[in-house]
Amino acid sequence: MRCPYCSSPDTQVKDSRPAEDNSAIRRRRVCPDCGGRFTTFERVQLRELVVVKKSGRRAPFDRDKLMRSVEIALRKRPVDPERVERMVNGIVRQLENSGEPEVESARIGELVIEGLRALDPVAYVRFASVYRDFREARDFNTLIDELESAGAWQTDAAPEKKL
């Protein structure tokens, strides 16, 4: 691991322990050249996954890309980052435990939609509108009607006062 301060390739591990959610290993490192101290988080990867796109093209699975897309859907929403991390870890675990070396991008999208539906209805609608390629306003209405009928849509607006 390269030092982030001086780019020395020879850093030393001073302490190693599981991260709080046990999804990674937290390592405290020190650079013998500049004396800089920093922390890294290393994730255990069960298997190399390949994503099969709609076009048939194959690309290596990228957890960071998955996290970025979820964070975009959740932008400016009051959701605890720890819950987001748990959701993404759960999706990755499901994919790795499937036993298949290749996973279709549609499967990943459906797992994200399921996770966001449970996490935040606004983020769910945002992600679904892009993932399902909404073309008209009625597509949003249909999705929101589904959420309302399932009891997942909650408004925080206070009831109007009668004068």
Q: Is 107 helix (H, G, I), strand (E, B) or coil?
A: helix
Tell me, what's the pLDDT at 153? 56
Q: What is the pTM of this model?
A: 0.63
Q: Which of 112, 102, 113 is nearest to 57 (CA)?
A: 102
SS3 category, 42 = strand
How far does the chain reach from its first CA to its final CA, in angstroms? 67
Torsion over CA of 70, 74, 80 and 86, rounded to 10 degrees? -20
Residue 108: closest CA among 57, 74, 63: 63
- Rounded Cα distance, 29 and 32, in Å: 10
Amino acid 160: pLDDT? 43
**Domain segments of the chain as ranges:** 12-43, 50-150
**pLDDT digit string (tens) for the chain, length 163 residues:** 889 999 999 899 998 888 776 667 889 999 999 999 999 888 765 568 999 998 999 999 998 999 999 999 999 999 998 899 899 989 998 998 888 889 999 899 999 999 998 899 889 888 888 877 777 777 777 778 777 777 655 544 444 444 4
